[in-house]
Amino acid sequence: MKKRIAIFASGSGSNAQKIMEHFKRNPEAEVVLILTNNPQAYVLQRADNFEIPSHIFTRHEFYETDDVIRLLKNLQVDLIVLAGFLWLVPESLLKAFPNKIINLHPALLPKFGGKGMYGDHVHQAVLDAKEEESGITIHFAGEQFDEGEIIHQSRFKIELDDNLEIIKFKGQQLEHHHFPRVIESLLKKMKS
């Protein structure tokens, strides 16, 4: 039986798209649902393009009810992927899917993590700190932002004349290359 992936995203969903592309014809795993807290998120269009169902939820539904957990359980989801999802995962969801929720962070944790550290905020902080390198971190989700066990890190060098857009581009290249492959290797390690 194919492993089943659900992806949470809050915005454009470029990583969600790379994951959907990667698993489109995969005999061992498939993306079965895209979830978002943002009714205007472009990731909904991307899901539609791949004919993958999507679910929009409210803050109340996510934090005060078990609706999202029930939906994921009914779909027999094996792995939850946070791909640009900006809300903290509630404890109830972490308990329902222990060590089955992973997140991508656009920097080398433990540096530049925590509340408010996402997207351009992270890249700007890296630039402001005059770091010589940055990269991506894929980690298990925990009760705090960006604090779960690290699964994978990849790095790139920051050149003297790199600006925000170049750093963002270099990071996205790593994200799009590594995230689907790390997901695939994690799924292979999971017991059926």
Domains in the chain, please, with CATH? 3-106+137-153+178-189 (3.40.50.170)
H or E segment to which residue 43 belongs: helix 43-49
Q: For residues 168 and 123, what is the distance between their CA atoms, to the nearest angstrom?
A: 7
Query: How many residues comprise the chain?
Result: 192
Quick one: pLDDT at residue 75? 98
What strands lie across the sheet with 54-56, from one edge to the other?
54-56, 29-36, 3-8, 79-82, 101-105, 133-140, 150-157
At 51 the pLDDT is 97
Query: CA–CA separation, 91 vs 20, rounded Å?
Result: 27
Residue 190 is predicted with a pLDDT of 86
Compute how many other C-beta atoms are within 10 angstroms of the C-beta atom of residue 33. 19
Question: Which of 105, 123, 139, 178 is flagged as catalytic?
Answer: 105
Instruction: Identify whether 180 is preceded by a cis peptide bond (ω within 30 of 0).
Output: no
Write down the mean pLDDT value for the chain.
Answer: 96
The H or E element containing residue 23 is helix 14-23
Low-confidence ranges of the chain (pLDDT < 50): none
Q: What is the pLDDT of residue 15?
A: 97
The reported pLDDT for the residue numbered 1 is 87
177 an active-site residue? no
Q: Distance between CA 70 and CA 73 in Å, rounded?
A: 5
pTM: 0.96
CA 124 – CA 129 distance, rounded (Å): 9
What is the H or E stretch that residue 59 is in? helix 59-64
Residues 64-106: tens digit of each pLDDT: 999 999 999 999 999 999 999 999 999 999 999 999 999 999 9
pLDDT number for residue 192? 53
